[in-house]
Amino acid sequence: MTESKPHASVLVAGSANVDFVIRAPHIPAPGETVLGRDLTMVAGGKGANQAVTAARAGGADTAMLVALGNDVFAPLLETSLTGAGITLHRVRSGAPTGAALICVSDNAENAITVAPGANMSLRPGDLPDLTGIDGLLLQLETPLPTVIAYARAAHAHGVRVILNASPAQLLPAELLAAIDVLVVNEDELSAIGGAEGTIAEQLARLDVPCVVATLGARGACARSDGQFYLQPAVAVTPVDTTAAGDTFCGVLAASLCAGESLATGLSTACAAAGLAATRMGAQSSIPTRAEVEAVPDRADAETAALAGLAAYCGVADIGREAAQDRI
């Protein structure tokens, strides 16, 4: 792993939710009632999860622009974020703090319903000064016009813009034009770029300098400036995948803002996401930087998995090992 530059600075603007999590034998089908086990209440939300990851697993100086209600749940989120060393830019809202209802099955899959609440209170004028910020990390659990305004402001300021396009929705051209790195899962990729063709063909249709598709237990596939990069996942026994995608995004953002190559960023992000999937909860599952760096060398396993990953993605020319560029 290459050495990160000191004090890479990431600003996350996004959602923070209190997660109400129930473990159950399986995720209920429509109309079905499932008898679950204990209810736990933990800090979550895509924006907050990714901010904690950038700070804890990514080693970046991290700040977060967050909207919270004036209720008993806000302190839980503030404590989790500040405890991870994150500088908070708070917006107080008359709406309740965001909440998510999460069912986690015994095979580690999850189903999530979100009540955005205060998260929808973020407005374009709330964006703090971007001086000294290397990258702005965004998601889609806040109002789309606000996300567009933040992306355009950061782009004009010369700040790298990273968007995790989740939950899935069509993205306007003005937003795509302001993005440097777009991160999506397979469903989000199909929703944004159209489901026709292979993963590689769908990535190629998106007019963004760098697009990364996360592929769950398979790993990740990225396209940057016409070159494809493949990164097999770490083999783990999953316990709860709730924040694995957020962990990937936060570490990738921190890595790229630290000047690391895309290939290195993908490798580190997949290692961190794999570790997160072996633990329960959202922010509580996010590993430390030391834990990520302690993941054993997996070059032989990755080499063995590359051919299968390339076939799944429809990538003929693998550029992962030769990638030394910076994006």
Among residues 38, 246, 317, 325, which one is catalytic?
246
78: left (phi over 0), alpha (psi -120 to 50) or beta: alpha
Has 225 been annotated as catalytic?
A: no
Question: If we measure between CA atoms, which residue out of 101, 168, 108, 175 comes closest to residue 141?
Answer: 168
Three-state secondary-structure class, residue 321 = coil
Question: If we measure between CA atoms, which residue out of 152, 151, 153, 158 comes closest to residue 132?
Answer: 158
Task: Please provide the DSSP assignment of 259-308 as one string.
Answer: T--HHHHHHHHHHHHHHHTTSSSSGGGPPPHHHHHTSPP-HHHHHHHHHH
CB 306 within 8 A of CB 230: yes
Secondary-structure breakdown of the chain: helix, strand, coil percentages, each rounded to the nearest 5: 35, 25, 40
Three-state secondary-structure class, residue 312 = helix
Spatial separation of the C-alpha atoms in residues 26 and 58, rounded to whole Å: 33
Q: Which helix (H) or strand (E) holds 92?
A: strand 87-93
Q: Which helix (H) or strand (E) holds 147?
A: helix 144-156
Three-state secondary-structure class, residue 151 = helix
Question: If we measure between CA atoms, which residue out of 95, 107, 120, 106 comes closest to residue 45?
Answer: 120
Spatial separation of the C-alpha atoms in residues 102 and 61, rounded to whole Å: 30
The counts of H helices and E strands in the chain are 10, 13
Spatial separation of the C-alpha atoms in residues 204 and 210, rounded to whole Å: 10
Active-site positions?
246
